[in-house]
Structure 1
Amino acid sequence: MKVAFVGPTVPDAVRLAGNTLTIRPPARQGDVLRAVRDGAAAIGLIDGNFEYVAPVWHKEILFALSEGVAVFGAASMGALRAAECADFGMAGIGEIFRQYVSGEAEDDSDVALLHAPEELGYAPLTIPLVNVRATLRRLLELRSFSVEDAACVEEAVSSLFYKERTWGAIAARARLMTSGDALIGKLRAGYVDQKRADGLELLEALRSHPGERQHVKCQWTFHATSLWKRALDPLPSSTGEPA
């Protein structure tokens, strides 16, 4: 079994995956461990919940790796965790992962956005900073934006709280010589959804995985601490039955 945790980054993941991957909603703490206990041979982490619930725990990723489960990360929460756990064998995929590793991106909120619930197709309500940066790079390449205007827009977006990053708020904060409507038109016309591109790359890597656990000896030791054991014991399987 190959499991991908994905939601707003690739809202049509279920259709794209067909019957080759098991698609589960954005992960929260315990979900990666649950997938391991359910028999996953490979796990792809794209989207994850935070703020109102505990996010994916690094310890459960390390446990998965110690059990021979391949763990891929990209695009959103997956890129963050992959950058943090790369030295332990988690495989990071895509441009956003590269940015976190290189230090070009540092804040967790660079990938965050507000979105509608699963029932409404995870429709985006705000724009993630990483996508704005990718869009500005494209517009610079096309010479549709000056270097000065691009820097102004990026500074404006960076200064906004992630829940406030809408096209209108960006245009108002940027205060360029170009009118707000014209600015939004340029950004929308050249919009690059880097998160989706990276998410699709991860799904392809997961699809190509052989689907068997690879028990390669780690260069590190997983320590089952008392806290880990307390978290492990009561955890139910994804079916709701005792594991």
Structure 2
Amino acid sequence: MHRRIISAVLFLCHCGVLSALFTVEAARSHYTAEYGGKVNMECHFQVGKGSNVDDVEVYWEYIAAEGGRKEVIKLIKGTENLSAQHEDFRGRARILKEELYKGHAVLQISNVELTDSGRYICIISAKGSDYKSMGLTVQAHYREINTRVTDVMESPGKMVKQIECQSIGYPEAEVTWFHAEKNLSSLVNTSYTVTAAKLFNVTSVVRVSSVSNNTFTCMFWNEAFQEATVLTFTIPGTYSSLSQWHWGSIYHIRRFAEVLQYG
């Protein structure tokens, strides 16, 4: 039943029949959320004197890239109705009822997943009906870099150090290595696997012979978010003095590279 209502609302809104009677506005046209975190998306509507929020019907839908729709959640007569909720949002989506009194239809999604990225439609029916759409982008920072150092027999009688840096995030990161003010890109082998959560598990490996300066830096650059996670460490050692930090500006990254290359 509610899908027929939604189809009728969208048709009438498109034709401009209802917009003069009742309007809905999106608080923002686009939202960004952190993987595993929470995000609140909201639409605003008019609340008049004597209005009863129990008479307000709120529908939130997800629009897939190929055009298909998934019901996120709906609120009818003050009660969340989960009868047609898509399994992708089960247990993770809710409407903040206390915000309805302010004229705010707030959708909260918890434990955000990468597949939550896309377009959302907020449809509100009260003394009239209207809708607005908004976008959501989910990002996953490369927060931690793990290292491993092993001795490898590269050829008969030649033992080298194999150094690995590994991190998980989204989208795929570009990995750059530095040692003794030199860029080791020509010696690096970087690969990745995709986890069940669609994250990139990136591993970058470099092999080096015995060196007098045993301090290395590996940098995971996330082009989509203009962000880098950098780890500087010394081998051999206990790794108790590892230094790791994030930079969110390509200017800082370039400055960092200049310092390493030119001193």
TM exceeds 0.5?
Answer: no
TM-score bracket, normalised by the shorter chain, equals under 0.3
In our comparison, the structure showing a higher alpha carbon Rg is: 2
Greater RCO between the two (CA within 8 Å, min separation 6)?
A: 1
TM-score by length of 2: 0.24
More helix by proportion, 1 or 2?
Answer: 1
TM-score by length of 1: 0.25
